[in-house]
């Protein structure tokens, strides 16, 4: 083999290895982010229990048989409201901070930004768990820790999506990011299992162990993350070409060699990289950003209500203990993994990101009703319904926060501006995080009136999410009917 060809194949192989490595690293990083968020939903049912069914130590002098085993300040009848306050201390701060996080991520080195964010996330997660060992019973302490943790956790999503966007083009983006986005569910599952091991014996470790894990991944990020292909002499991805900016591009593309062994760049389009970061208002003008952001608000409202309240719901309705309820809740995330991948595959094949989300959300609403009505009748029904609901709820959420955000962040109207992805991602996920804050808050307020009302709220949110996508779905359907040119992925809509 000629020397030039050998060098070419080495470069292509190097590019594939680096892209696989970056995909694995960013998967690991955001798994750690979600792993550290999950423990509080598992520990809730331990912080407040029905103590009348628990054997009391003989040497313990108590005045209330129903609350003696609970952790102050969660021992009162308003414990669900207090849990809702704690959830929102994290989620409201996260939602507000997310709009600014993308701006910082565009202007700071991603490696440093992620590393510091993960180290601080580990610190504040551990501080919550230390409340157990330091015997802290102040609501203000736990609220402060949640506020700070919500703030530093905003460093994760815009940075990892921007990093993946730097390395991968549009071809099969829905499938690749559907698989990659399973880090959300994998993190939730691992967080539930780790927290469940310690929840009944020493719930402080349910926070300290995940905190140590995310801090460790921050150290790994500092030493190993490569932000851009150009940093290691790899070929950057092609987001669009000169003939049709919406045309599919190869996922792992590189240069080719001609018959004489000379290196050719016939499949690579070099575009000017505008170094000026996009403004907030400029990002909002990108077609589809507003619709998908508002849709994600309601989709994430449903997803995060399940994230924070599902273990407690299972414990109250099915009468499982804290560990069993936590383990059972992981099935929802298992379904979310499958749903996210299926949403990505279908949207890649059809070219209809909005339509894929619309169909899954529309089916999700009646399935939530069925789960609340018959989901706890027996173990088999519970398992099946959790898997199905998890796939339908988390599938659209996963697709919007990954493939859709990356498509819009590299939209043709940006003309090669590589610094827009973080801001677009932050706007979409920040708007969604408003819903993530509202969902658990509303669940805390509504649940004392009955779990049925909570599920009515979740079904209404799914229907509203569908309505917000109606215009984009109409455009995509017209394209399939021949009124507009059909493309895979995103084009002007």
Could you read off the pLDDT of 107-117 as tens digits, one per residue?
Answer: 889 999 999 99
**Angle subtended at Cα 236 by Cα 232 and Cα 239, rounded to the nearest 5 degrees:** 160
The answer to whether 388 and 367 have CB atoms below 8 angstroms apart is yes
Residue at 18 is within a domain: yes
What are φ and ψ of residue 408, in 5° steps? Answer: -70, -35
Mean pLDDT score across all residues of the chain = 81
Residue 428: its pLDDT value, please?
86
CA distance 338 to 344: 10
Closest alpha carbon to 297 in 96, 476, 464 = 464
In the prediction, which pLDDT does 257 show?
40
Q: Dump pLDDT digits (tens) for 419-436.
A: 567 778 778 888 888 898
Helices (H), 401-449: 405-409, 421-446
The owner of tokens 């009391």 is: 56
Q: Would 487 be classed as within a structural domain? A: no
pLDDT-flagged residues of the chain (< 70): 1-12, 52-68, 169-174, 238-280, 409-420, 483-493
Domain of 226 in residue numbering reads as 1-49+71-235+277-481
Handedness of CA 382, 388, 392, 397 (dihedral sign): positive
In terms of Cβ atoms closer than 10 Å to its own Cβ (0-12, 13-18, 19+), residue 106 is buried
| pLDDT for res 297 | 93
376 assigned to some structural domain: yes
Evaluate whether residue 200 is within a structural domain. yes
Report the sign of the C-alpha dihedral through residues 450, 452, 456, 459, in that order.
positive
**Cβ neighbours, 10 Å, residue 17:** 11
Q: What does the radius of gyration of the chain's CA atoms come to, in whole angstroms?
A: 24
Is there a domain that residue 129 lies in?
yes
Structural domain contains residue 85: yes
Instruction: Number of helices (H) and strands (E) in the chain: give both, helices first.
Output: 18, 2
C-alpha 2: how far from its chain's center? Answer: 47
Is the residue at 222 inside a domain? Answer: yes
Q: How far apart, in Å, are the Cα atoms of 238 and each of 79, 109, 167, 174?
A: 52, 22, 9, 16
CA angle, corner 470, sides to 464 and 473, nearest 5?
135
Report CA dihedral (230, 235, 239, 241) to the nearest 10 degrees. 130
Lookup: tokens for 360: 């899954």
**What pLDDT, on the 0 to 100 scale, is given for residue 138?**
92
Total count of domains within the chain:
1
Residue 244 lies in a domain: no
Question: What's the CATH number where 142 sits?
Answer: 1.20.1250.20
What is the pLDDT at residue 242? 44
């Amino acid at each position: 083999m000629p020397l030039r060809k050998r060098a070419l194949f080495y470069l292509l192989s190097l590019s594939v290895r680096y892209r696989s490595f970056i995909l694995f690293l960013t998967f690991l990083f955001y798994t750690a982010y979600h792993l550290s968020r999950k423990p509080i939903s598992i520990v809730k049912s331990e912080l407040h229990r029905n103590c009348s069914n628990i054997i009391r130590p003989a040497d313990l002098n108590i005045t209330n048989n129903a609350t003696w085993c609970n952790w102050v300040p969660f021992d009162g009848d308003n414990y669900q409201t207090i849990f809702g306050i704690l959830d929102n201390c994290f989620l409201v701060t996260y939602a507000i901070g997310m709009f600014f996080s993308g701006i910082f991520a565009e202007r700071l080195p991603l490696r440093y930004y992620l590393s510091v964010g993960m180290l601080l996330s580990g610190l504040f997660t551990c501080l919550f768990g230390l409340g157990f060992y330091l015997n802290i019973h102040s609501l203000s302490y736990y609220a402060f820790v949640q506020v700070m943790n919500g703030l530093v956790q905003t460093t994760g999503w815009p940075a990892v999506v921007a990093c993946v966007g730097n390395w991968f083009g549009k071809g099969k983006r829905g499938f690749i990011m559907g698989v990659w986005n399973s880090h959300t569910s994998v993190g939730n599952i691992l967080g539930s299992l780790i927290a469940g091991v310690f929840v009944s014996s020493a719930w402080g470790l349910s926070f300290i162990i995940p905190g140590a894990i995310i801090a460790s991944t921050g150290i790994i990020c500092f030493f190993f993350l490569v932000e851009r292909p150009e940093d290691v002499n790899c070929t950057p991805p092609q987001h669009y070409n000169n003939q049709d900016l919406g045309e599919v591009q190869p996922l792992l593309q590189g240069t080719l060699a001609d018959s004489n062994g000379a290196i050719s760049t016939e499949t690579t389009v070099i575009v000017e990289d505008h170094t000026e970061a996009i403004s907030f208002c400029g990002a909002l003008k990108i077609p589809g950003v507003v619709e998908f952001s508002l849709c994600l608000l309601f989709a994430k409202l449903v997803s995060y209500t399940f994230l924070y309240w599902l273990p407690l719901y299972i414990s109250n309705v099915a009468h499982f203990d804290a560990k069993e309820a936590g383990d059972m809740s992981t099935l929802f995330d298992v379904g979310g993994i499958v749903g996210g991948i299926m949403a990505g595959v279908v949207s890649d094949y059809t070219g209809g990101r909005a339509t894929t989300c619309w169909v899954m959300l529309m089916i999700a609403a009646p399935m939530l009703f069925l789960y609340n009505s018959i989901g706890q009748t027996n173990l088999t029904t519970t398992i099946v319904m959790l898997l199905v609901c998890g796939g339908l709820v988390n599938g659209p959420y996963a697709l919007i926060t990954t493939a859709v955000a990356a498509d819009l962040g590299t939209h043709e109207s940006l003309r090669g501006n590589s610094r827009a992805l973080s801001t677009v991602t932050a706007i979409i996920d920040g708007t969604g995080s408003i819903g993530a804050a509202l969902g658990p808050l509303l669940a805390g307020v509504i649940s004392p009136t009955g779990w049925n009302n909570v599920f009515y709220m979740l079904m209404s949110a799914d229907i509203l999410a569908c309505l917000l996508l109606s215009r984009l779905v109409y455009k995509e359907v017209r394209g399939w009917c021949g009124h507009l040119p059909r493309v895979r992925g995103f084009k002007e809509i």
